[in-house]
Amino acid sequence: MTLDSTDLFGPVLDRRVVPVLVPMPAPRAYSYAVPEGMAVEPGSIVQVPLGPRFVVGVVWDGEDDGGVDPKKLRAIEEVFDCPPLSPEMRAFLDWVAAYTLTPPGLVARMALRAPAAFDPEPMVEALRLTDMRPERMTTARERVLARASDGLSWTRSGLAHAAGVSSSVIDGLASQGVFETVFMPPPPVVALPDPAFAAPRLEGPQRQAAVDLLAAVEERKFSVSLIDGITGSGKTEVYFEAIAATLRAGRQVLILLPEIALTASFLERFQDRFGAKPAEWHSDLAPRTREKVWRQVTTGQVRVVAGARSALFLPFEELGLIIVDEEHDPAYKQEDRVFYNARDMAVVRGRIGNFPVVLVSATPSVESRVNGEMGRYRPIHLPTRYGDAALPDLGIVDMRRHPPERGGFLSPVLVNHIGKTIGRSQQALLFLNRRGYAPLTLCRVCGHRFQCPDCSSWLVEHRFRGQIQCHHCGYSERTPEACPECGTLDHLVACGPGVERIAEEVERHFPDARTIVLSSDLMGVKRLRLELAAIARGEADIVIGTQLVAKGHNFPNMTLVGIVDADLGLANGDPRAAERTFQLLSQVTGRAGRTGLKSLGLLQTYQPQHPVMQAIVSGDSDAFYQREIHERERAALPPFGRLASIIVSADSRGDAEGHARGLRNAAPRVDGIAILGPAEAPLALIRGRHRFRLLVHGRRNSDMQTFVRAMIAAGPKERGSISVQLDIDPQNFL
């Protein structure tokens, strides 16, 4: 088959001026001239001059407005030898930009996050055996010749490794003409997954679930399924079948996971089922790997990607299925530059690309639950755990009746169970979603509290490091010995617990146990992966961790989970506080008893009657959801109403407040849309910037984007240090 550029890239347009989207916060594409002899089309990835620099951009859709004299236009410098972004991908990027009220260039930039990947990967130099033989034979040389006698091409180091010789042996042979140099295509980042590699026998309700799901996948058109089943019920096993069907149909698959960098076990599990790992995509990838993955996704060499939210912006060659695992997880919301929820945008990408999307969770978001109940999503239930894995028994520890000893945070009930568990050589997990030693330090003499100089937040003591730190801006100082206010020495007290302080308490009770603290500030991703694997092998007795231990890990010998402070997330003014607490606590207690051992989850709480606690211990999540859904409906909160948050920040409090007021006054009057605020944000100061919030509240069918755009357009201009952040469908109310 011969290909010419028309087959590869579609018809070449002869327009001489084209719009190019550059990775900048500009409101629209800029016009560029196409030099004589250069072929571009919408979607082409190009290099263009911008000011004094060159940047990568994408030829965009639409006619050039002809507003600029073509002679004054700057020209496209280069077209990369790279598949153009597809019409679906461009429509998706435009949609995200319009929905999130973000300049389209900033959204397009997310699709181009692999600077050196736009040119084809270079061929790899390799060696192939000729008819020549060396003058003198050695055993090492014989081994090399035997290896290479298959007639295939080998890289120098690959052959040396395979033959068990040093590469100087290869060089010696090559210098005598025994090898010729050839070039071979670069190796794929991952092997091809095989849908038939190790198909499981689905059991009980899993079978019907798979039938329903496969029906959706085989339609090959847009639909959303919501797999809702308790941890260990086989959700992953079932959606693997949908992946297999998509691979058989010759289409690519994207699996979104909230903490992909930490879930190495997922990759292995995928490999057990499909005989090869999926390609990974997240911010901790080495740049070279990242570029290879990006390139091979666009060419279709990579068939399955498992990635963090940003993987949604990879330009797949032919995407046919997106799985969003743990769809309720707050990590899907990005709150930086482009404010978007990858779960929701995955649904949009499926709709634009006309393929199925599968949302998966043991504790779905209220939004997805409601969509399931209303018939917008296809609900798929898995009500029981697979095999002999029993759910943990769950109990409440009423902290008013069983208070910890003075200065401690663990009730005698929990301590007693920890002792029994490690006495049986099993593992206990203590969960507390607070890094460091103590969230607040104060002086016992004058009452001085240590506060961040740049943020309205307390400095958190990190005793392992000997520092007090701000968790919002990273400010830190050495833990002082004297109070800076009254000068008294050694009278500073730590208030409240963090994981380090719990570790200290545990060590007091169980000095001989192997105790480990898992917290993102104590180690990097690589270390964490190793530690998690070591824990799974049983190399720790008591694990104390923040929320990163909640995510997807499988600790076979973990039979006790203690929630140190189940009330922690409840009182923060977030309309999703109860839902979030329920999800997090369910997920953490779900870490226990995954292998058939009898297990226990204990929630320490001062509010044992709270609906969240009751829902978890009774196992009756339906009642909890019904109550929560009812509350949301009554208050017209999402998904029954819509929210948009506007945060105005500035170097001075007055500027921030004045601008926020100006915006409010400029808002159009629209039936069904109301504005709350401006009010000082709960985090009134971050990194020295004063913050005011406006919350726009609309009905379900309100056009929030048009409203907010009109308000910004009619409002005061952003000047000086003032900046305005727009967050459609906010998850964060600080």
Which residue ranges make up the site for Zn ion (CB under 5 A)? 452, 454-455, 470, 472-473, 475
Scanning the structure block, which residue is given the tokens 């339906």? Answer: 622
Query: Which residue, 246 or 519, has its beta carbon nearer to ligand ADP?
Result: 246
CB of 234 to ligand ADP, least distance (A): 3
**Quick one: which of 100, 153, 233, 263 contacts ligand ADP (CB under 6 A)?**
233
Q: Which helix (H) or strand (E) holds 477?
A: strand 476-478
**Quick one: which of 44, 100, 153, 236 contacts ligand ADP (CB under 6 A)?**
236
CB of 291 to ligand ADP, least distance (A): 32
CB of 683 to Zn ion, least distance (A): 10
Q: Which does 235 bind (CB under 5 to 8 A by kind): Zn ion, ligand ADP, none?
A: ligand ADP
Residues 6+ apart with CB under 8 A from 155: 124, 125, 126, 127
Q: Which does 200 bind (CB under 5 to 8 A by kind): ligand ADP, Zn ion, none?
A: ligand ADP
Is 202 one of the binding residues for ligand ADP (CB under 6 A)? yes
Using CB atoms within 10 A of its CB, is residue 445 exposed (0-12), middle (13-18) or buried (19+)? middle
Residues 6+ apart with CB under 8 A from 382: 205, 206, 209, 227, 228, 229, 230, 233, 234, 235, 238
Structure tokens at 533: 């694997």
Q: Which amino acid is at 261?
A: A
CB of 387 to ligand ADP, least distance (A): 6
CB of 650 to Zn ion, least distance (A): 17
CB of 381 to ligand ADP, least distance (A): 11
Q: Which does 55 bind (CB under 5 to 8 A by kind): Zn ion, ligand ADP, none?
A: none
CB of 232 to ligand ADP, least distance (A): 4
Q: Which helix (H) or strand (E) holds 6?
A: helix 5-9
Q: Are strands 641-650 and 304-307 parallel, antiparallel or unpaired?
A: unpaired
CB of 651 to Zn ion, least distance (A): 15
- CA 133 vs CA 138, 154, 168, 419, 443: distances in Å: 12, 17, 17, 70, 83
**Quick one: which of 90, 235, 632, 690 contacts ligand ADP (CB under 6 A)?**
235
**Quick one: which of 43, 104, 195, 232 contacts ligand ADP (CB under 6 A)?**
232
Query: Which residue, 471 or 591, has its beta carbon nearer to ligand ADP?
Result: 591
CB of 203 to ligand ADP, least distance (A): 5
CA distance 192 to 401: 58
**Quick one: which of 100, 206, 583, 649 contacts ligand ADP (CB under 6 A)?**
206
Phi, psi angle pair for 721, to nearest 5°: -90, 0
CA distance 350 to 353: 5
**Quick one: which of 316, 355, 386, 450 contacts ligand ADP (CB under 6 A)?**
386
Query: Which residue, 225 or 411, has its beta carbon nearer to ligand ADP?
Result: 225
E-strand stretches of 570-664: 600-605, 641-650
Distance of CA 29 to the CA centre of its chain: 29
Query: Which residue, 232 or 353, has its beta carbon nearer to ligand ADP?
Result: 232
Q: Which stretch binds ligand ADP (CB under 6 A): 227-235, 311-319, 423-431, 653-661?
A: 227-235
**Quick one: which of 57, 84, 205, 229 contacts ligand ADP (CB under 6 A)?**
229
CB of 192 to Zn ion, least distance (A): 48
CA distance 117 to 226: 35
Is 569 one of the binding residues for ligand ADP (CB under 6 A)? no
Q: How many CA atoms lie within 13 A of 168 on its CB side?
A: 0
Q: Which does 201 bind (CB under 5 to 8 A by kind): ligand ADP, Zn ion, none?
A: ligand ADP
520-529 long-range contacts, Cβ below 8 Å, gap at least 24? Answer: 520/435, 520/546, 520/548, 521/435, 521/436, 521/462, 522/464, 525/261, 525/262, 525/284, 528/262, 529/261, 529/262, 529/264
Is 406 one of the binding residues for ligand ADP (CB under 6 A)? no
Q: Which helix (H) or strand (E) holds 479?
A: none
Q: Which helix (H) or strand (E) holds 563?
A: strand 558-563
CB of 377 to ligand ADP, least distance (A): 18
Query: Which residue, 222 or 475, has its beta carbon nearer to Zn ion?
Result: 475
Is 210 one of the binding residues for ligand ADP (CB under 6 A)? no
CB of 622 to ligand ADP, least distance (A): 18
628-647: contacts with ligand ADP (CB under 6 A): none
Q: Which does 10 bind (CB under 5 to 8 A by kind): Zn ion, ligand ADP, none?
A: none
Query: Which residue, 287 or 383, has its beta carbon nearer to ligand ADP?
Result: 383
Q: Which stretch binds ligand ADP (CB under 6 A): 186-194, 232-240, 291-299, 303-311?
A: 232-240
Query: Which residue, 232 or 698, has its beta carbon nearer to ligand ADP?
Result: 232
Number of helices followed by number of strands (H, E) in the chain: 20, 31
Query: Which residue, 472 or 529, has its beta carbon nearer to Zn ion?
Result: 472
CA distance 263 to 254: 16
CA distance 317 to 109: 18
Which x/- pattern over 280-309 shows residues binding ligand ADP (rule: CB under 6 A)? ------------------------------
Structure tokens at 201: 């026998």
Q: Are strands 393-398 and 558-563 parallel, antiparallel or unpaired?
A: unpaired
Q: Do the Cβ atoms of 242 and 217 come closer than 8 Å?
A: yes
CA distance 532 to 261: 12
CB of 385 to ligand ADP, least distance (A): 7
- CA 652 vs CA 354, 474, 647, 722, 726: distances in Å: 48, 21, 14, 9, 20
Is 388 one of the binding residues for ligand ADP (CB under 6 A)? no
Query: Which residue, 470 or 616, has its beta carbon nearer to Zn ion?
Result: 470
CB of 684 to Zn ion, least distance (A): 12
CB of 471 to ligand ADP, least distance (A): 31
Query: Which residue, 622 or 651, has its beta carbon nearer to Zn ion?
Result: 651
* Residue 726 β-bridge partners: 646
Q: Which does 454 bind (CB under 5 to 8 A by kind): ligand ADP, Zn ion, none?
A: Zn ion
Structure tokens at 379: 């609900």
Q: Which stretch binds ligand ADP (CB under 6 A): 43-51, 230-238, 413-421, 695-703?
A: 230-238
Query: Which residue, 269 or 509, has its beta carbon nearer to ligand ADP?
Result: 269
CB of 656 to Zn ion, least distance (A): 17
Q: Which does 206 bind (CB under 5 to 8 A by kind): Zn ion, ligand ADP, none?
A: ligand ADP
Q: Which does 575 bind (CB under 5 to 8 A by kind): Zn ion, ligand ADP, none?
A: none
**Quick one: which of 158, 200, 556, 658 contacts ligand ADP (CB under 6 A)?**
200
Phi, psi angle pair for 114, to nearest 5°: -155, 75
By CB under 6 A, the count of residues binding ligand ADP is 15
Q: DSSP 3-state assignment of 307?
A: strand
The 10 Å Cβ neighbour count of residue 309 is 25
Query: Which residue, 472 or 661, has its beta carbon nearer to Zn ion?
Result: 472
E-strand stretches of 352-415: 356-361, 378-382, 393-398
Q: DSSP 3-state assignment of 696?
A: strand
Q: Which helix (H) or strand (E) holds 340?
A: strand 338-341
The 10 Å Cβ neighbour count of residue 295 is 22
**Quick one: which of 203, 405, 485, 539 contacts ligand ADP (CB under 6 A)?**
203
Q: Which stretch binds ligand ADP (CB under 6 A): 226-234, 372-380, 501-509, 695-703?
A: 226-234
* Residue 441 β-bridge partners: 494
Q: Note the residues at the interface with ligand ADP (CB under 6 A).
A: 200-203, 206, 229, 231-237, 386-387
